[in-house]
Amino acid sequence: MSALDPVEIFRVEAAELLEQIEQGLLDLDQRLDDREQIDSVFRGLHTLKGSGAMFGFDALAAFTHHCETAFDQVRKGHAPATRELVAAVLAARDHMRALVEDPSGDYAGQETALLSQLHAAIQVGAIQVGATQAGATRVDAPQAGAKPQATPEPPPATADTAARQWRIRFALPPNAMVNGVNPLAYLDELRELGACEVSIDDSAVPPLDQLDPTALHLQWTVRLETEHGRSEIEDVFLFVVDDMVLEIDEMGAWPLEALSPAPAPVESKAEAPATPQQAAAQPTSPKTAAPQAAATPPKTARRSVESVRVPADRLDELMDRVGELVIAQSRLSQIAAAGLNEELRAVSEEIENLSNELRGTMMVLRMVPVGTLFERFRRLAHDLQRETGKQIELVTEGESTEMDKTVIERLADPLVHIIRNSADHGLETPEERQAAGKPPAGRITLAARQSGGEVIISVSDDGRGIDCARVRAKAEANGLVAPGQVLSEKEALHMIFQPGFSTAAKVTNLSGRGVGMDVVKKTIESLRGAIDVESWPGEGSEIGLRIPLTLAIIDGLLVRVGGARYVIPLAAVEECLELSLEDDAKSRGRSLLSLRGSLVPFLRLREIFQTGSPPDPHQKVVVVATGAERVGLVVDQIIGDHQTVIKSMSKLHEDVETFSGATILGDGSVALILDIVNLVAVRQDQEAQMRAIA
């Protein structure tokens, strides 16, 4: 993406506006009388419409106008906010996103259906408000692509809404046009409220040799005759009122030429660069100060926190460079340690410190809170509730837990499948829940927490749980297990991740085709993660995803097994012990260590890797943990800590589950990175086989 491409900047800002609109609608769905959320959704729609028109997205502006009109009627009390209206605008919001991504698509039929849904929702609400206001809440469902009307139809004039005269004086900050504000749009909106006359004060315009062509020096005084009240006039300036001077006075008849000049504009730092958000914001509509009869004192423009929007691919490229720097620094440290040059060692240590700091800074830049991911599923829960007819309450915990942005992006689809599975298979209908003594609304809890070098994300529900007997019967019917084969509860629960597996009695929009959960397994394994499943009949189930914090650079423990070197992720290491040849011989046949009163199983990496060489006299055991499981890994030598830049395995070796990647050492050789989750699973399989034999 070109950093200077205004269309791409608009698309980024439009995505943020659409997210804001969706979250506002979901909040409103919970509290239909929340005036703040009604205003928030209206402002988002209004800004999107104006920005779209400014950047040439005419179809978007025309379509968004109808949703904005509907919410304008709600704001003015001509129609209530209803769940039907929220659902209609949520569906329209999805269409707006399509218009942003592909404005040239053929959406005529889809737009007609969406506008009909919107029209029906607002009309039903208008009838509820009363016949007097029903005519004012009409939202015409025009043909797709039609240009938006200027404003909604005002209610008929009555004795209380007779035309009144207003004097409006306003001055925008000098950098208004630099930030994408068009003063003429405000004058057009005032004109739409009624007959008006405009007077311009150009007394603040400097001489030509001192004129800044990007600065705004004009001020306006408007005489307006309208049936609308003060609040409608204030709404014209809703988005810019905090950075401008605005006076609104109700007057009798007064001559335009007798007006005094408008007040001096608020001083603003014109040199402050416009943020992309400001650049994309069309002067549209808005919130203003409380009614005033006297001049409004100048307001100081709020200083926003400076930030820079950086394309994600540039961060990825920078991360690659940092990784190469870490490898080069490791080589330099090895050369310095092998020589006698003290100055070289000092420089090497300084570069190592700088490299560590740069790496830490880079990691922080890539970390984002999982709350940004969790927010997406509020909409999913809302849609699932309507699709299934079940009452669903989505609860989120640990939103501030941070993960690498790349990991978060890849977790979105797996979590969608898990949540849909919980809603369809896990939660019961309200009638079934009440019969079981449960509240009618089922709860799905989405939680995140950090544990060492990994984040555990769990999706739990308080539904019926997973029927292991039914899962086993389906697995046998599909030929996944042999009849009579011994399966532990854990193995049975993990059958739901097999390709083509489904226990649904019939195919629905949510499940029954045997796809979804196998995608979860593949994605989590590609992230070097693991899946835990627990279920309690009649009480619910929980699926936990254990994911590494980052996929780029980790701290590792470099070890030697035979003649080869390997890296163990340091976050998984609990402690290191010595294993003598005598103790090793005693443990043959049971492979267990007594560690402070508890038995810890261990694996001999020499045997797994088939080194073919005798063990060292003083072997070491590295105790690692994943979740509640602890396993010892027997190695010949512990070399020390190592900053590990993770490189992907080649396509020839990507199916080797024992390793999660590789890294380049300081001498240019390659060390494989052990997949701790897989090794723990290997040990569990060995124990299961021993129990079966016994």
For residue 74, is it within any domain?
A: yes
Asked which of 137, 169, 204 is the last residue of a domain, the reply is: 137
| Residue 149, pLDDT above cutoff 50 | no
For residue 108, is it within any domain?
A: yes
Q: State the pLDDT at residue 396.
A: 93
296 vs 108, higher pLDDT: 108
Crossing angle of helices 83-101 and 376-388, in 10° steps, is 130
The two three-digit tokens of residue 512, written as one number = 């029954």
Asked which of 329, 344, 369 is the last residue of a domain, the reply is: 369
| Residue 118, pLDDT above cutoff 80 | yes
What pLDDT, in 10s, does the model give residues 233-247?
Answer: 887 887 677 778 888
Check: CB of residue 224 under 8 Å from CB of residue 196. yes
The enclosing H or E element of 641 equals: strand 637-645
AA letter at 144: A
Helix H segments across 240-291?
A: 276-280
Q: Is 440 helix (H, G, I), strand (E, B) or coil?
A: coil
Asked which of 512, 533, 548 is the last residue of a domain, the reply is: 548
Check: CB of residue 274 under 8 Å from CB of residue 4. no
Closest by Cα among 618, 581, 576 to 600: 576
- Together in a domain, 599 and 689: yes
Instruction: Report how far residue 554's alpha carbon sits from residue 313's, in angstroms, rounded to the nearest whole number.
Output: 21
| Residue 509, pLDDT above cutoff 70 | no
For residue 571, is it within any domain?
A: yes
Q: State the pLDDT at residue 457.
A: 93
**Cα–Cα–Cα angle for 252, 266, 278, nearest 5°?**
105
Confidence of residue 126 (pLDDT cuts 50, 70, 90): low
Confidence of residue 303 (pLDDT cuts 50, 70, 90): very low
242 vs 507, higher pLDDT: 242
| Residue 26, pLDDT above cutoff 70 | yes
| Residue 85, pLDDT above cutoff 70 | yes
Region class of 640: left (phi > 0), else alpha (psi between -120 and 50), else beta: left
261 vs 420, higher pLDDT: 420
Report the CATH number that the domain containing residue 666 is assigned in CATH. 2.30.30.40
| Residue 15, pLDDT above cutoff 60 | yes
- Together in a domain, 612 and 530: no
- Together in a domain, 481 and 524: yes
Instruction: Report how far residue 633's alpha carbon sits from residue 622's, in angstroms, rounded to the nearest whole number.
Output: 5
Give percent of the chain with pLDDT exceeding 90: 16
Confidence of residue 72 (pLDDT cuts 50, 70, 90): confident
- Candidate from 218-222, 337-341, 449-453, 517-521 with smallest mean pLDDT: 449-453
Report the CATH number that the domain containing residue 345 is assigned in CATH. 1.10.287
The two three-digit tokens of residue 661, written as one number = 């990647």
The enclosing H or E element of 358 equals: helix 342-366
Q: State the pLDDT at residue 93.
A: 92
182 vs 400, higher pLDDT: 400
AA letter at 311: P
Instruction: Report how far residue 301's alpha carbon sits from residue 268's, in angstroms, rounded to the nearest whole number.
Output: 6
| Residue 602, pLDDT above cutoff 70 | yes
For residue 303, is it within any domain?
A: no
Q: State the pLDDT at residue 154.
A: 42
Report the CATH number that the domain containing residue 241 is assigned in CATH. 3.30.70.260
Q: State the pLDDT at residue 567.
A: 92
- Together in a domain, 377 and 513: yes
- Together in a domain, 427 and 530: yes
| Residue 137, pLDDT above cutoff 50 | no
Q: Which of 366-375, 536-545, 650-659 is predicted most confidently?
A: 536-545
Range of the structural domain that residue 321 is part of: 313-369
- Furthest CA-CA distance within the chain: 108
Give percent of the chain with pLDDT exceeding 70: 79
Q: Is 59 helix (H, G, I), strand (E, B) or coil?
A: helix
- Together in a domain, 333 and 376: no
Q: Which residues pair with 172 in a beta bridge?
A: none
Q: State the pLDDT at residue 311.
A: 74
Closest by Cα among 646, 628, 612, 387 to 530: 628
For residue 1, is it within any domain?
A: no
- Together in a domain, 543 and 564: no
Q: State the pLDDT at residue 504.
A: 56
Check: CB of residue 556 under 8 Å from CB of residue 567. yes
Report the CATH number that the domain containing residue 410 is assigned in CATH. 3.30.565.10
- Together in a domain, 332 and 435: no
- Together in a domain, 563 and 687: yes
Instruction: Report how far residue 205's alpha carbon sits from residue 533's, in angstroms, rounded to the nearest whole number.
Output: 71
For residue 689, is it within any domain?
A: yes
280 vs 621, higher pLDDT: 621
Confidence of residue 252 (pLDDT cuts 50, 70, 90): low
What pLDDT, in 10s, does the model give residues 405-444?
Answer: 888 888 888 999 999 989 988 899 999 999 999 999 999 9
Confidence of residue 601 (pLDDT cuts 50, 70, 90): confident
- Together in a domain, 602 and 511: no
Three-state SS across 264-275? CCCCCCCCCCCC
Average pLDDT over residues 256-273: 40
For residue 151, is it within any domain?
A: no
Q: State the pLDDT at residue 683.
A: 67
The count of domains in the chain is: 5
Q: What is the mean pLDDT of the chain?
A: 78
Return the percent helix, strand and coil in the chain, to nearest 5. 45, 20, 35
Instruction: Determine how many CB atoms are found less than 10 A away from the CB of residue 284.
Output: 26
Instruction: Report how far residue 428's alpha carbon sits from residue 426's, in angstroms, rounded to the nearest whole number.
Output: 7
Instruction: Tell me how far CA of residue 279 lies from CA of 17, 42, 54, 360, 392, in angstroms.
Output: 14, 20, 10, 33, 40
What pLDDT, in 10s, does the model give residues 41-60?
Answer: 988 898 888 888 878 888 89
What pLDDT, in 10s, does the model give residues 496-505?
Answer: 888 767 655 5
Instruction: Determine how many CB atoms are found less than 10 A away from the CB of residue 268.
Output: 20
What pLDDT, in 10s, does the model give residues 541-599?
Answer: 999 998 877 666 778 899 999 889 999 988 888 889 888 777 777 766 667 777 787 88
Average pLDDT over residues 452-468: 87
Q: State the pLDDT at residue 146.
A: 45
- Together in a domain, 484 and 564: no
Instruction: Tell me how far CA of residue 404 lies from CA of 346, 347, 452, 548, 551, in angstroms.
Output: 33, 31, 15, 9, 8
Q: Which of 212-221, 645-654, 672-681 is predicted most confidently?
A: 212-221
Instruction: Report how far residue 519's alpha carbon sits from residue 496's, in angstroms, rounded to the nearest whole number.
Output: 11
Closest by Cα among 188, 179, 331, 164 to 253: 164
Q: State the pLDDT at residue 506.
A: 52
- Together in a domain, 352 and 406: no
Q: State the pLDDT at residue 150.
A: 39
DSSP state of 256: G
Q: Which of 91-100, 138-147, 449-458 is predicted most confidently?
A: 91-100
Confidence of residue 221 (pLDDT cuts 50, 70, 90): very high
Q: State the pLDDT at residue 287.
A: 34
Report the CATH number that the domain containing residue 96 is assigned in CATH. 1.20.120.160
